[in-house]
Structure 1
Amino acid sequence: MAADRSTESRRLAPVLLILAILVVTTLDATTGPELHISAFMGIAPLYAALRCPFRQTLLVAVVFVVCLTYVDIWTVPDWAPASRVVGIFGAFLVAAFSLMLCRTRLQREALHARTSLVADTVQRAMLRELPLSAGSVEAYGFYVSAVEGARVGGDIYEAIDTPYGLRLMIGDVQGKGMPAIGAGVEVLASFREAAQYQESLESVAGRMEQALARYNARSAEQGADERFVTALLMEVRDTDGAAEGRVLSCGHIPYYLVRDGEVHERRDGEGALPLGLGALSGEPRRSVRVHPEPDDWVVLCTDGVTEARGEDGTFYPLAERLARWTHLEPADLTRTLRADLEDFAHGSLKDDATVLVVRRRTNPDPDGQLSLARAAAA
């Protein structure tokens, strides 16, 4: 609807501009030389250059030059010939400048469109579109980059159906926006690979740490900043018809468990340092066993959500908000949560913000279950 209104407005703009030029010309021709308002008509072709296609801008410019030439020659009898020449030359100059401005604008818009297409394709390849679906689990949510117009930034997430069960990850790269993408790509790619072949979450986190260490080494050689990544890894396996899970936190903020309509903040698996800082501690990372129930929901987020500030400086009360909306379906919950978060922060989030609402599907895809069973058997 907004795009249709914008297109209609662009089509109507040259018509209105030409009508305005003709009205001003008529006023100058009928009110006498003491009222010379045609000098303001130069706004018309300049406005067309900023809003209209080239042909429409050319039409407005031609009408402007013709009308102003008529006014300078026939409606101002007390002007000297030199003054008329200067006025007509000025009209041609304004028209030529408008056409050059329009051409430059169109070239930049075309370049921006091509660049945006490439960037959008790269960003889609990095982060899959929400909602995610893996095995018997679906994850709804939203991602908001701190950089306006960017699809991705410093937050990463993924859900993968592996021979070892469903594996889910959410991470937050030090920094925000576009400069944090490089480290995020390395960690995300490492998780996608390691999750398929490493038997334990500890091993998966170890591979992610190694990938980030290599990235930081390259960054140091190039004089760029080294980064660390907080991450929360989850795993759910079906054992004899019962779900069994494990959680490993690499310095990430707590997650929320929604069970029987109540919201519980969970700090399972906390204590390990973020990825990239593991060498500072001799303590190995250890996952913690959890016991999910069929109707449980899990809400994961990054600190861009919990540290979003309101007008009075208070942090966003995520647990309190979730408790109000546990009756909503995941898709409705994420839409409501995003709208409320942006309203709370008055539309100016200072950091990348990601929320994932994860639950088991009521009717899992049988093909997905079959492929999981075959992979586990192999």
Structure 2
Amino acid sequence: MRAHRAHRGAHRAHRPRSWESGRRTAALLSLAIVVVAALDATTGPELHISAFLGLAPLYAALRCSFPQTRLVAAVFVASLTYVDLFAVPDWAPASRAVGIFGEYLVAVFALVLCRTRLQREALYERTSLVADTVQRAMLRELPLVAGPVEAYGFYVSAQEGARVGGDIYEAIETPHGLRLMIGDVQGKGMPAIGAGLEVLASFREAAQHLESLDSVAERMEQALTRYNARSLEQGTDERFVTALLMEVCGPGELARGRMLSCGHIPYYLVRGGRVHERRDGEGGLPLGLGALTGEPRRGVRIRPEPGDWVVLCTDGVTEARGQDGEFYPLAARLAGWTDLEPPELARRLRADLERFTGGELLDDATVLVVRRRPPATDQLSMARAAAA
């Protein structure tokens, strides 16, 4: 419902601008038709410049609303009918009839073209609304808030027009503490959504009920195995998913946690203004490939400290290439921006990544900047400072 209201609000905000633009276009086209027809009426019969005005209603059909296109078409027919009847005295009656019939035909064609375009746009808008709602239901919008932890960041799909694709993430508060996951499905864009949704749904359920992070990863493995079995039956490709799972429980200096990697890339710990690349919990195979060894995945203990930040990402970020072929230097960028607040850091990273790649990502890219929320007094001070 919230996504639907947001979509309708965006549509209402966009519609006045489109209407105003169409109205200006229709007014200019109508004025141009009248001026050209008037000039044509004053020139000799050997120069019939208004013959080119048939482009005006066709242009209006592509840019204006139906009433605006109808206005331009009416001005076009009226102006050229006047020219045909009174400005070309040596025309035979048959020639006049053919000319007027052609003008009406152009006007009717423009109206049909406009109606067809508007129907297609309405269909596209409804389809986009459904797709947008489904995609928002799959991945919650950032920032995420789960208990005492907040996660800012961004998600960019490599497939144009798609909100989600091969990357997944989630952070939830459970009876066993905060549990957070980021994953990367083999492939990108729409074909990877099915496997990603299966793993994501499994994590959301298992994280609430299973005591150990290792058991959560095993449940996710089982879910993806069933999905791949169905895919084989349907003649589609199997997929694997790299994932990084994190668990934190306990307050402040007593906090403890675990980290488990299912073939995922390292994460970054920001502590005391320094950036550390961490490979805690590495060694496990990606989800969907666990049967290759049959060995259970094991998480490792971590000791978070007050003030720590954790930056998680997918390889669509670290393997993004610039114009010179170099990989995106995420660690170096983080080292220079450790003084930024998480929202600003996320914005800065996204803008810098787009500049670095020239806006041409080859894979879905996700970054999560995770930290414990500051105490309420600190949050109030930050809000007042921002307002000032």
- TM-score between the two structures when normalised by the length of structure 2: 0.91
Q: Which residue pairs with 1:150 in the alignment?
A: 162
Alignment of 1:327 with 2:339, yes or no, is: yes
Alignment of 1:113 with 2:125, yes or no, is: yes
Which letter does structure 2 place at the counterpart of 1:136? P
CA offsets 1:30-72 (integer angstroms, 9 cap, x no match): 2222332112211111111111111111111111111111122
Structure 1 residues 312 and 152: CA distance shift in structure 2, 3 A: same
Q: Which residue pairs with 2:257 in the alignment?
A: 245
Given that 1:135 and 1:364 are in contact with CA atoms closer than 8 Å, whether structure 2 keeps it comes out as no
Which letter does structure 1 place at the counterpart of 2:326? T
Given that 1:191 and 1:204 are in contact with CA atoms closer than 8 Å, whether structure 2 keeps it comes out as yes
Which residue of 87, 90, 93 corresponds with 1:75? Answer: 87
Q: Which residue pairs with 1:275 in the alignment?
A: 287
- Stretch deviating more after TM superposition (66-75 or 236-245): 236-245
Q: Which residue pairs with 1:163 in the alignment?
A: 175
* Gap regions ≥5 residues in structure 2: 1-9, 378-388
Secondary structure (helix, strand or coil) at the match of 2:250 reads: strand
Q: Which residue pairs with 1:346 in the alignment?
A: 358
Q: Which residue pairs with 1:36 in the alignment?
A: 48
Q: Could you tell me how far apart the structure 2 residues matched to 1:137 and 1:239 are?
A: 11
Q: Which residue pairs with 1:99 in the alignment?
A: 111
CA offsets 1:187-225 (integer angstroms, 9 cap, x no match): 000000000111111100000010001111111111111
How many residues align? The count is 365
Q: Which residue pairs with 1:55 in the alignment?
A: 67
Secondary structure (helix, strand or coil) at the match of 1:326 reads: coil
Secondary structure (helix, strand or coil) at the match of 1:272 reads: coil
CA offsets 1:112-134 (integer angstroms, 9 cap, x no match): 11111111111111100100000
Which residue of 175, 183, 187 corresponds with 2:199? Answer: 187
**RMSD of aligned C-alpha atoms?**
1.7
- Stretch deviating more after TM superposition (342-351 or 179-188): 342-351
Q: Which residue pairs with 2:246 in the alignment?
A: 234
Q: Which residue pairs with 1:373 in the alignment?
A: none
* Stretches (4+) displaced over 2 A: 1-8, 31-35, 76-86
Alignment of 1:303 with 2:303, yes or no, is: no
Given that 2:252 and 2:305 are in contact with CA atoms closer than 8 Å, whether structure 1 keeps it comes out as no
Secondary structure (helix, strand or coil) at the match of 2:312 reads: strand
Which letter does structure 1 place at the counterpart of 2:370? V
Which letter does structure 2 place at the counterpart of 1:59? L
Q: More relative contact order in 1 or in 2 (CA 8 Å, sep 6+)?
A: 1
Given that 1:140 and 1:358 are in contact with CA atoms closer than 8 Å, whether structure 2 keeps it comes out as yes
Q: Which residue pairs with 1:140 in the alignment?
A: 152
CA offsets 1:324-375 (integer angstroms, 9 cap, x no match): 111111001111110110111111111111100000011269xxxxxxxxxx
Structure 1 residues 104 and 131: CA distance shift in structure 2, 3 A: same
Percent identical pairs in the alignment equals 78
- Stretch deviating more after TM superposition (205-214 or 241-250): 241-250
Alignment of 1:46 with 2:58, yes or no, is: yes
Q: Which residue pairs with 2:385 in the alignment?
A: none
Secondary structure (helix, strand or coil) at the match of 1:151 reads: coil
Secondary structure (helix, strand or coil) at the match of 2:375 reads: coil
Q: Could you tell me how far apart the structure 2 residues matched to 1:297 and 1:76 are?
A: 81
Q: What is the Cα deviation at residue 82 of structure 1? A: 2.8
- TM-score between the two structures when normalised by the length of structure 1: 0.93
Secondary structure (helix, strand or coil) at the match of 1:355 reads: strand
